[in-house]
Structure 1
Amino acid sequence: MRLHTREWGTGDRSALLVHGIMSDSRTWRLVGPALAGRGYRVVAVDLRGHGRSPRGEYSPRHFADDLVDTLPVGADLALGHSLGGLALSLAVDRLRPLRAVYADPAWESPDPEQALDPEMFASGKNVTREHIARSNPRWAAEDVDIEVATLADWDADTSYFLDGRPLTGYAPTRPAVPSLVQLADPSHLVGADDAARLRASGFEVRTVPGAGHTLYRDDFDGFMKSLDGWI
């Protein structure tokens, strides 16, 4: 499936951005221009079921295959957040970017023995602006407004892509390309043992101190500093 994309910049280098569940390419409002300012042509997708992209069947493999159908091979950088990190990891061997960054990737459930509750995610479509602002006190007002808009355009059926099964078994055993994993503080998706295993298998792992799951909206400067040497 060909996905809707959003672009910033006209630089000689290329960067690909893949958002998380319930969001879309608008979430990169600061990251896209920042990378463009460093000489990148930045392409951000709306995953299927999100933003202006088509709807359809939902599974990790579908999300990954859509990236391959839409994005160029051999980009200088590919960055995926949460579900976008999962999708990117399943597509990275085909997209072959020079470097990959996984921002608090959704590779494992907080409790691998417990199934994710899709209704919990689906109910998020109806949260109020006030609830979003209260739950994310470090977000700028514009980010809160974008979250409201992206939720309105999101197909809540994407919540059911695991059919009630735990999210487990998706963490890569080794990096297909030089790879950085950025973690929230603390991360509820990549624990200390997981981080140690990733380091041992060749990933670089960095934490953005004090940041929650949406690292780049909680602490944009800290998020960008965490990318030193990778962008």
Structure 2
Amino acid sequence: MRLHTITWGTGDRTALLVHGLMADHRTWRRFGPALAERGYRVVAVDLRGHGASGRGAGPGEYRPEDYADDLVESVPAGCELAVGHSLGALVLARAVERLGPLRAVYSDPAWHLGAGPAAYRAELFVRGKRLTREMIRRLNPDWTEEDVDAEADAVRMWDERTAYALEELTGTDLWPVRPVVPSLVVLADPSLPVSPGNARMLAERGFGIRTVTGAGHTVHRDDFDGFVSALDGWI
């Protein structure tokens, strides 16, 4: 599936941005232009089932492999930088060998969806379709008004069947065995998808690890300056 994309900047270097579940390219509304100011041509996608991209026929067409194939089909290979958040980090890890970026950044990656009492529950995400703007504001007090508006609209457009597809991966080992390209993992504080033990495991496998103190899961919105600072030397 060819994905809807938006571009900031006209620089000689290319950066790819991949959003998380329930969001779309607008989650990068500050970071995309910031990269463009640094000389990048920035391409942000809407994953299938999100934003202005097409929809799958059902949960069976929202597998990580489907997302990764779409990404490879929709953006040029060989970019200088690729950044994925949450689900976007899972997708990027599945596509990174074919895309061949020079560097990859995985922000609070959804590489483990939990098991047991803390297991991933699709219904919890589907309830997000009922979130009002006021509820989003209360849940994210540090977000700008523009981010709150963008999130409210992105949730309205989101196909909730994507959440049910991910539920089938609960408890599955999705951890990458090695970084295919030089790779940085940026974590929230605390990170729900990446425990301290798993962060140590990723470091042992060759991933760089940096934490943005006090930031929630959507690191680039919760603490934009902290997120950019964490990428020092990578962007």
Classify the TM-score, shorter chain: over 0.9
Closer, same or farther in 2 for the Cα pair 1:167/1:144, shift >3 Å? farther
> Pick from 81, 102, 107: which aligns with 1:103?
107
**RMSD (Å), alpha carbons:** 1.0
1:218 aligns with 2:222: yes
Distance 1:167 1:192 in 2: 18
1:82 aligns with 2:82: no
Distance 2:25 2:169 in 1: 27
Tell me how far 1:112 sits from its aligned partner.
3.1
Secondary structure at 1:162 match in 2: helix
Q: Determine if contact 1:113/1:166 at 8 Å carries over to the other structure.
A: no
Distance 1:113 1:60 in 2: 22
Secondary structure at 1:139 match in 2: coil
Secondary structure at 2:7 match in 1: strand
Count of residue pairs brought into register by the alignment = 230
Match of 1:112 in 2: 115
Match of 2:152 in 1: 148
| 1:8-27 pair list within 5 angstroms | 8-27=8-27
Q: Determine if contact 1:117/1:164 at 8 Å carries over to the other structure.
A: no
Secondary structure at 1:180 match in 2: strand
Secondary structure at 1:190 match in 2: coil
Q: Determine if contact 1:93/1:176 at 8 Å carries over to the other structure.
A: yes
> Pick from 135, 152, 157: which aligns with 2:139?
135
Distance 2:168 2:180 in 1: 29
Distance 2:182 2:86 in 1: 19
Gaps spanning 5+ residues in structure 2: where?
none
Secondary structure at 1:197 match in 2: helix
Distance 1:167 1:134 in 2: 30
Query: Residue type of the partner of 1:149?
Result: D
| 1:178-217 pair list within 5 angstroms | 178-217=182-221
Tell me how far 1:167 sits from its aligned partner.
4.7
CA deviations 1:64-89 (Å, max 9, x no partner) are 11111111111000000000000000
Distance 2:131 2:110 in 1: 22
Secondary structure at 1:225 match in 2: helix
Query: Residue type of the partner of 1:29?
Result: R
Q: Determine if contact 2:122/2:164 at 8 Å carries over to the other structure.
A: yes
Distance 2:120 2:65 in 1: 18
Distance 1:176 1:133 in 2: 38
Match of 2:5 in 1: 5
Query: Residue type of the partner of 1:65?
Result: D
1:65 aligns with 2:69: yes
CA deviations 1:55-109 (Å, max 9, x no partner) are 0111111111111111111100000000000000000010010000000000012
Q: Determine if contact 1:116/1:164 at 8 Å carries over to the other structure.
A: no
Instruction: State the TM-score, normalizing by the size of structure 2.
Output: 0.95
In percent, how many aligned pairs have the same letter?
61
Distance 1:227 1:125 in 2: 32
Q: Determine if contact 1:107/1:167 at 8 Å carries over to the other structure.
A: no
Distance 1:49 1:158 in 2: 7
Q: Determine if contact 2:121/2:167 at 8 Å carries over to the other structure.
A: no
